[in-house]
Structure formats: structure tokens, C-alpha cells
Structure 1
Amino acid sequence: MTASQPTILATSGGYVPHPRLRFGFGPIMDLAIDLASERGRVDPTGTPRICNIATASGDDARFQRDTEEAAREAGFALHHLSLFPSPNVEDVEGYLRGFDVLWVNGGSVVNLLAVWRAHGLDRILHTLWREGVVLAGISAGSLCWHTGGVTDSFGPDLVPVTDGLGFLPWANGVHCDSERARLPLLRELVADGTLGTTLCTDDGVGLLYRAEQFIEAVTEREGAGARRLRRAPGHEAGTARVLEEELPVRQLAGAVPRGA
């Protein structure tokens, strides 16, 4: 399955509470599958095929097993691309082309970018994105597609990251309601010109992009929001005002209560 045009779903969500498992896959993953099905299913069984890319967490085996359990419950066929200690497949591009959605987990976006570039995965993903394979992910798996944002990759203090893949021409902020230090720093970095226009998500919210265009914000958590930060025109760096705009957010079917 492929989307009708290059598609990215960059999120602070994708996982929801589950009564027995560590987490379940939520409505955001269902949306990613729907986006991938626009050109029709290739797999005659109709089972969505997801590749989990957990580079940002060092291909943690326990988390990989947790995603497999969540996928089993949701009815997805989920496999992994691992890069530690070396790629688990010979032909990475060919392997990834066989999936409907490439889902990138959270962790260290700095480490993710370095490892992907060392293996040429940045170029491969750009090719597959242009071909219509849906790219999606949470946290580091959201930041990576943008020009930059803020990260705790180096320790507890947040710092700017400005060397994202740049598939999308904006910066990105994640977890803006649950990690309170992120939004104030993002405002400062937009004001001083370190980051350009920045699109931000609360937990449970995703940003849908078609090619390089932002289309809409969606949420799988009731009441969660999204916003755009940009420097006011005509103001110099250091004295600039930041214009903050709340974005409309479409609530997905099956959204969970905000406190869940």
C-alpha cells in the first residue's frame, strides 16, 4: 500500500493505554494505515504491514517485543529494522519498500540522525517517502523529519537541534503539555532565529503533511492541542516577538480521555 503523494504523520502520540500490555496502538496508527491504503492494498490478505524503526532507543529488544504485542492485538503485521550492532537485513531499501508504514520510535533524535546518516538511511527514507511509503513516528520519530527542534538527547537539560533531515521546512516541538520546559524554550529559539517557524504538539497529537505542505493536526487524546510559533515580521533577532497560533485539531474516532 502507498499513499497518493508523499506523506508524513509526525506525532507526540501513537500509543494508548492497554489493560494487559505495556501500551496499545491508537487511532493515529489507524490513520497512518488509512493514508497508506490510498492506492489500494498490495498484500492480498489485507493485513497492514508496519516496520518499526527503533534506532533512537538503540533497538531496545524489550521495546521491540512490546510493539510486536501491541501490533498483534491491533491486527497489524509488524517487523523491525535494526541497525545495532549492524543492519538485520542485507538490502535495507528493498526491505523497507515492502511495508505500508515506517514507524519511528522515540528516544535520542541526535543519535538517530547520526546513525541514519552513517548507514545512508536518510537518503533511503527520502526516496521511499517520495514513492508514497508513509513515514510516521513519535517524539524523536517526529522531530527527525523537520529542520530541528529541542531535545534532551544530551541529558536532562533541553538544547536546540538544528540538523534534522529537513524533509519538512519547519521546526517541530513535541510533548508540549507533559514536558513544561519545552514550549518556553521553543519560543526563545524562534524569537532569536535559532529555529524558524515551529509546529508543536501536545501528547496524543499528530501533524499530517502532504509533500512539504502542512494539512491538519489530529488527536487521539481528547482536548489535546497543537500550535504554530513564528517570529513577528519586521523584528530583529533578540528583540523579536513570537506569534503563537492555536491550530484546529481534528479528534480521531476512538480518542481516549486526556487523563488516561
Structure 2
Amino acid sequence: MLRLFFIIGLFIMNLSVINAQDKKIFVWGGDINLKFTRYIADLTGKEHPRLCYLPTASGDNPDNIRFWGSICNALKIDTLVMNVWVSASPDNQSFEDILLNSDAIVVGGGNTLNMIGIWKAQGIDKILKKALNKGIILSGGSAGSICWFEKGISDSRPTSISAVEGLGLLPYSNCPHYSQKERQDLFHKLIGNKKIHSGYAFDERAGILFVNGKAKEFVTQSDKHHLYHVFLKGKQLEIEKLEAKIVVSKNAIPEGEYQTTEVEKKLSEIAPDGKSTPLSAYVTSKKFLKAKSHS
């Protein structure tokens, strides 16, 4: 009988592992854009996903909301926006009703410090943690990237770039807009001085998918936008450039299904009569630059 109970116990434990929801957070270095919104929609695995946009960091800026609407329209996704700068939603839904009935939550850019303050005052920070535990995808760029980490490099304060606190759902530090030298320098300095934990740095259009707190997939929209893991090895600051795959438009030719050839000619020399033709879409001029070493 004891053995039977033991077997049943193991079976129940295995079921709990199988049914456990992965906690997914997708972040990138710049503000919202179409390709990464498509990436988020695809992560839901649903044909008609409910993506909720939080423009809190921009004060629910109407232009940002209109831009979000244009993205959703292009992707044929229903527009869903949660404003927090008004007293109530038009249909009297609570913040919890809206967020916990979404498939993914997308946080826009703006002032991280103000956004976190409002979220905590309204209890939205706790709802977002519930959403993550429920398996709802959390995402965002710029301020919408910093907010999920312990700390991040931000221009939220009026006088200078500084480190601000996020919700701590990811146990790392974060630096969006990493191509900006002022942010880059401060990020390196604070990690080097052990003022913040090691973390990840993002160029504008490069992102990381975290699954259950671990960096799982590295993506970029071009070979000009990169990702970095910045950490201390002993007393030495290490900056590791992460290999990322390029996110392409839906139904585009996937990697591995085509071949590339280096052609030492200008497009004008290849195209008939020097005119632009569809051939231009298949010819690229590549420059290989030796990466600078960091110390």
C-alpha cells in the first residue's frame, strides 16, 4: 500500500511539472515596433492573440497609442490598450480584469521611474507578477525593458543618466539604447564597482527572450543591432557579444533555405544598364570589421 501511495505521489508531481506554465519575458533596446510585436504575437501560439499595450511610461501619450494601433492593424491583431492616467476604463474593467485576460502585455517607452511609481501606487506591479505566474507573456522595449529587471540605466531623472529600480522579475541589470556612449559607460562603471548586478545590454532593435528567468533566445532585426552580456570575472569587466538570429517578416525565406555568395562588384555593375532591378533585393555589400576588445 505504501508503494502504491508513493507511485501516485510521483504521478501527481510529474503532472504538476507538465502543466506548469513557462514564465516568458521578451525585452529589447528601443521602443515598440512591428517586427517585435509580431514576434510576441507568435510567442503566444494563438491565431488571434490578445496583446495589451501599456503606455504608462509616456503618460498614455495619444501618438504612441495611435502608433500601436497602426502596428496592430498591420498585423491584423485587435487593439487593446490599458490607460492608467484616467480615473476608469470606458467599460469599467479593473486593471486586473484587463491584464489577466491578455495573452501578452507590451510595455512602451518613456519615463521608467514615473511608470514604476504609478504601477506601485495602483497595485499594477502585483498584477503583472500574477500575469507572469499565469503564463501571460511580459514584454517591452526601452522603459518597457528596464521595468522587468532589478535595475536599469535610464534617463528618467532630469539632470543625468542614472540607474533606476525595476520590478525585479529578472535577477539582472539592464541597459537599453546601449549604442549611446553615456549609457554604456555608466553601465560598465556600475557593474565594475559592484553597484548593480551583472546584466544584459541591448541595441535599439535587438532583444532577448527569457524563459523562467534564463536567457533563452537572442534575436535582432539586422546585423547592425547587437546584444551583450556584461559581467565581472574576478575583478575584470567582461563584455560578451551574444550571437543572435535575425527576425524576418512572416513567410519570408528562413535561414538555411538559401545560399549567399560574395560578389566584389557594385550594384550598378550588376544591374542591366546600371538601373535598379529586383536583383537588388538579393545582393548585399558586406564589410567585416574587427570587433574592439574590452577590458
User: Counterpart of 2:39 in structure 1: which amino acid?
Assistant: L
CA distance in 1, matches of 2:61, 2:121: 19
Check whether the contact 1:14–1:29 (CA below 8 A) recurs between aligned residues. no
Q: How does 1:102-181 map to 2 (within 5 A)?
A: 102-155=105-158, 157-161=160-164, 163-177=165-179, 179-181=180-182
Shift of 1:86: 2.6
The aligned residue for residue 3 of structure 2 is none
What amino acid sits opposite 1:229 in the alignment?
V
Instruction: State the distance in 2 between where 1:122 and 1:147 align.
Output: 13
Contact 2:56-2:83 within 8 A present in 1 as well: yes
C-alpha distance in 2, partners of 1:30/1:222? 19
Q: Are 1:36 and 1:132, in contact at CA under 8 Å, matched by a contact in 2?
A: no
2:83 match: 82
CA contact (8 A) 2:30 2:176 kept: no
Structure 1 residues 70 and 113, CA, compared in 2 at 3 Å: closer, same or farther? same
Amino acid at match of 2:23: P
Cα separation, 2, equivalents of 1:201 and 1:71: 24
Distance 2:132 2:23 in 1: 5
Offset at residue 176 of structure 1 (A): 0.9
1:30 counterpart residue number:
38
- Distance in 1 separating the partners of 2:103 and 2:216: 20
Residue of structure 2 aligned with 1:251, choices 226, 246, 257: 246
Q: Is the 8 A contact 1:216 1:248 kept in 2?
A: no
Gap change, CA 1:108 and 1:52, over 3 Å in 2: same
For the residue of structure 1 that corresponds to 2:22, the secondary structure is coil
Helix, strand or coil: the match of 2:40?
helix
Matched, 1:92 2:128: no
Q: Distance in 1 between matches of 2:103 and 2:131?
A: 10
In 2, Cα distance between equivalents of 1:157 and 1:87: 34
Question: 5+ residue gaps in structure 1?
Answer: 17-24, 236-240
Change (3 A) 1:15 1:80: closer
Report the Cα offset of residue 186 of structure 1: 0.4
Hey, what's the Cα distance between the residues in 2 that align with 1:5 and 1:175? 28
Superposition RMSD on alpha carbons, in Å?
A: 1.9
> Is the 1:12–1:203 contact (alpha carbons within 8 Å) kept by the matching residues of 2?
yes
- The structure number with the bigger radius of gyration is 2
Amino acid at match of 2:65: Q
Question: What's the offset of the Cα at 1:156?
Answer: 5.3
- Which protein, 1 or 2, shows the higher relative CO under an 8 Å CA cutoff with sep ≥ 6? 1
- Post-superposition Cα deviations, 1:70-109, rounded to whole Å, max 9, x if no partner, equal 2112211121111103342432112212222111000000
Which runs of 5 or more structure 2 residues have no equivalent in the other structure?
1-19, 253-283, 285-295
TM-score (norm 1): 0.83
Instruction: Judge conservation of contact 1:219–1:249 (CA < 8 Å) in 2.
Output: yes
Q: Name whichever structure is richer in helix by fraction.
A: 2
TM-score under structure 2 length normalisation: 0.73
Which has more strand, going by share of residues? 1
C-alpha distance in structure 2 between counterparts of 1:208 and 1:192, whole Å = 27
Q: Which residue of 1 aligns with 2:194?
A: 193
Give the corresponding residue for 2:14: none
**Residues 128/4 of structure 1: CA separation in 2 closer, same or farther (3 Å cut):** same
1:13 and 1:220 in contact (8 A); partners too: no
- The CA deviation at 1:232 is 2.4
Distance 1:222 1:213 in 2: 24
Separation in 1, partners of 2:159, 2:105: 28
Alignment partner of 2:73: what SS?
helix
